[in-house]
Structure 1
Amino acid sequence: MLDGFKLGRVNGTSYYRTGRGPVLVLIHGVGMHAGFWAPQLTALAEHWDVIAYDTLGHGGSPLPPEHPTLADYSNQLRDLLDGLGIFQVCVAGHSMGALIALEFALSHPARAGAVVAMNAVYCRTPAQREAVVQRAALLRGGGIADMSWRQAALDRWFGAPVPPGQLENTAWVGASLAAVDAVGYARAYALFASADAAHAGRLRQLAVPALFLTGEEDHNSSAEMSREMAREAPFGSAVALPGERHMMSLTSPGVVNAALTHFLSSLSLTQAAQ
Structure 2
Amino acid sequence: MATEVEAGGLRGRMYVSRAVSGARPGVPVRPGAPVRPGSAAEDPAVVLIHGIGVSHRYLARLHHVLARTVDTVSIDLPGFGSSPRPDRQLTVADHGRFIHDVLDGAGVGPRVLVGHSMGAQFVLEAALQRPDQVSHAVLMGPVVDVRHRTVLRQMLALTKDALLFETPGSNAVVFSDYLRCGPGWYFKQLQVMMDYRTEERIRELGTPVMILRGATDPIATGEWCRILARRAPAGTLAEVPGCGHVVQYTGTAQVAEAISGFAGLPGSEAPEQMLRRR
Q: Assess if the C-alpha contact under 8 Å between 1:27 and 1:53 holds in 2.
A: yes
* Cα distance in 2, alignment partners of residues 237 and 101 from structure 1: 16
Q: Assess if the C-alpha contact under 8 Å between 2:117 and 2:140 holds in 1.
A: yes
Shift of the 16–230 alpha-carbon distance from structure 1 to 2, 3 Å rule, reads same
CA RMSD of aligned residues (A): 2.4
* Cα distance in 2, alignment partners of residues 100 and 65 from structure 1: 19
Match for 2:137: what amino acid?
V
Count of paired positions: 239
Superposed displacement of residue 68, structure 1: 2.5
Q: Does 1:236 align with 2:235?
A: yes
* Cα distance in 1, alignment partners of residues 260 and 237 from structure 2: 15
Shift of the 156–64 alpha-carbon distance from structure 1 to 2, 3 Å rule, reads farther
Provide the residue aligned with 1:209 in structure 2.
Answer: 208
Q: Does 1:25 align with 2:47?
A: yes
Shift of the 156–123 alpha-carbon distance from structure 1 to 2, 3 Å rule, reads closer
* Cα distance in 2, alignment partners of residues 210 and 115 from structure 1: 5
Match for 1:102: what amino acid?
L
Superposed displacement of residue 123, structure 1: 5.1
* Cα distance in 1, alignment partners of residues 4 and 89 from structure 2: 24
* Cα distance in 1, alignment partners of residues 82 and 153 from structure 2: 25
Q: Assess if the C-alpha contact under 8 Å between 2:199 and 2:227 holds in 1.
A: no
CA deviations over 1:164-221 (Å, ceiling 9, x no partner) = xx223322222222222332212221211221x2450x42332222100012211221
Q: Does 1:176 align with 2:177?
A: yes
What SS does the aligned partner of 2:121 have? helix
Equivalent residue for 1:93, pick from 107, 115, 122: 115
Provide the residue aligned with 1:7 in structure 2.
Answer: 2
Superposed displacement of residue 101, structure 1: 0.4
Provide the residue aligned with 1:76 in structure 2.
Answer: 98
The percent of aligned pairs where both chains have the same amino acid is 29
TM-score normalised by length of structure 2? 0.78
Equivalent positions of 1:1-274 (< 5 A) are 6-11=1-6, 12-20=11-19, 22-64=44-86, 66-122=88-144, 124-125=146-147, 128-130=148-150, 132=151, 134=152, 155-160=159-164, 166-195=167-196, 197-200=197-200, 202-265=201-264
Superposed displacement of residue 46, structure 1: 1.9
* Cα distance in 2, alignment partners of residues 172 and 123 from structure 1: 24
Superposed displacement of residue 18, structure 1: 0.5
Match for 2:253: what amino acid?
G
Q: Assess if the C-alpha contact under 8 Å between 1:56 and 1:184 holds in 2.
A: no
> Whose relative contact order is higher, 1 or 2, with alpha carbons under 8 Å and at least 6 apart?
1
Match for 1:50: what amino acid?
T
* Cα distance in 1, alignment partners of residues 145 and 74 from structure 2: 27
Match for 1:227: what amino acid?
R
Shift of the 83–199 alpha-carbon distance from structure 1 to 2, 3 Å rule, reads farther
What SS does the aligned partner of 2:132 have? helix
Runs of 5+ unmatched residues, structure 2: 20-42, 267-278
Q: Assess if the C-alpha contact under 8 Å between 1:57 and 1:181 holds in 2.
A: no
What SS does the aligned partner of 2:149 have? helix
TM-score normalised by length of structure 1? 0.79
Shift of the 265–87 alpha-carbon distance from structure 1 to 2, 3 Å rule, reads closer
Superposed displacement of residue 17, structure 1: 0.6
Runs of 5+ unmatched residues, structure 1: 1-5, 137-148, 268-274
* Cα distance in 2, alignment partners of residues 177 and 123 from structure 1: 21
